[in-house]
Chains A and B, each alone.
Chain A
Amino acid sequence: MAMQDNKFEPISAVADGELDADELRFLLRRVESDPEAREALGRYHAMSAAVRHEYVPGADSLADRVRASIDGEPAHTAPEASAQAGGATGRWLRPVGGMAIAASVALGVLIVGPTLFDAGNPAQGPVSEPSVAVIQGAPFEGQLERVATSSGGQSAATGAVPIASASLDAEARQRLNAYFVNHSEYAADGQLGTSLKYARIMGHGSER
């Protein structure tokens, strides 16, 4: 008799979210097959709704209607659930992939960087015009002091390098030159990428 009296105790506990995962699994099957248990659960929730001023007369029928509608819907399948888990794995993989790309870029910079920027190494010869053009990205005239790099302590500057003249008038060239020199620190953080954070553009002659 006592067993019979307490038969809805787990229903009351599940209404409060107080069952562990195993009890919940068992109870779900019971509610599915025992209409009385499901009705009791509905009433327990209705009590709570009444206490919280949320009770709506007639709303108890909604669960039956929704259940009938969902009966016609396909059940969500385990792969979808595992896709969620896969999503969690993906969240782990994404930073790893990002780090791999960053490492590849860094390696590329280490290999190619000295070739591009280490003009101070006699074996590399003088800074060529295209290299400067990449760094400056703008017409430049006159004597450009060498681009100093901080890699490997090979930044010793030597002499100025002659640059080909562009076909701008003197005033425009002077203004452009001043602009690039004054704003050179922003170039590394912008479109030119991080490897050029270690490059410093220096003005020529009396400009700076």
Chain B
Amino acid sequence: MSTANADRELVKRVQAGDKQAFDMLVLKYQHKLVKLISRYVHDHAEALDVSQEAFIKAYRAIPNFRGDSSFYTWLYRIGINTAKNHLVSQGRRPPDSDIDAQDAERYDIESRLKDQESPEALAQRDQVQATVISAIEELPEDLRVAITLREFQGMTYEEIAQAMECPIGTVRSRIFRAREAIDRRLRPLISDIGG
């Protein structure tokens, strides 16, 4: 199942009344959405509030989501509109420069709008990123290759199984073990950050 299909399945469940399925979508996209909204709303606490509002709007509107675009593209538009409306309501002018919803999934948006994170947040982000990369580098080769193909190349389990010439179940197990190893390094750090 591709990520898009998995999202579609979760959306169907939310539309049928399953709130837990929406929680799964929030867990998946919370960082991405906050990152996006932070381009418009520079105060961190305020960006979190606006992101929360965007998710709630998405939840209320989800019965009307018909799957013409991916879930994230749809959420992206809600996020941008919520951020802009927030700025207007505060008497601030939204930036002219927008990123196309389709492009947002392909390009690194860092290059398009200036990053406004505080030095402390930047340091924490870099520390988390360095910890994850370092943990991946220390993995045994079979785990490292599996997690790299998944996280950096975005390959499905089936594609990884073909590339590594092993069963899909083995891929699933290797990726899980890789994550567990990374998690052991990451968990104390995230707790310190207060994430």
Contact = CB atoms under 8 A, between A and B. Distances in A.
Interface of A: 6, 8-9, 12-21, 24-25, 28-29, 31-32, 38, 40-63, 65-67, 69-71, 73, 75-78, 80-81, 83-84, 87
A123 to B, nearest CB: 56
Contacts of A51: 129, 132-133, 151-152
B157 interface: yes
Given A62-B52, A76-B15, A6 B176 contact: yes
Nearest to B127: A57
Contacts of B6: 14, 17-19, 24
A81 B121 CA distance: 41
Contact of B157 (A18, A44, A46): A18
Contacts of B28: 15, 45
Contacts of B13: 24-25, 28
Given A31-B24, A59-B195, A13 B172 contact: yes
B164 interface: no
Candidate in B26, B62, B151 with the most chain A CB atoms within 10 angstroms: B26
Contacts, number: 198
A70 B26 CA distance: 11
Given A31-B24, A59-B31, A81-B15, A47 B182 contact: yes
A52 B34 CA distance: 14
Contact of B195 (A14, A31, A57, A67): A57
Contact of A49 (B9, B31, B55, B152): B31
A53 B22 CA distance: 24
Nearest to A28: B20
Nearest to A39: B187
Contacts of B62: 76
A162 to B, nearest CB: 61
B112 interface: no
Nearest to A56: B34
Contact of B26 (A17, A67, A77): A67
Contacts of A62: 26, 30, 33-34, 48, 51-52, 55
B90 interface: no
B179 A56 contact: no
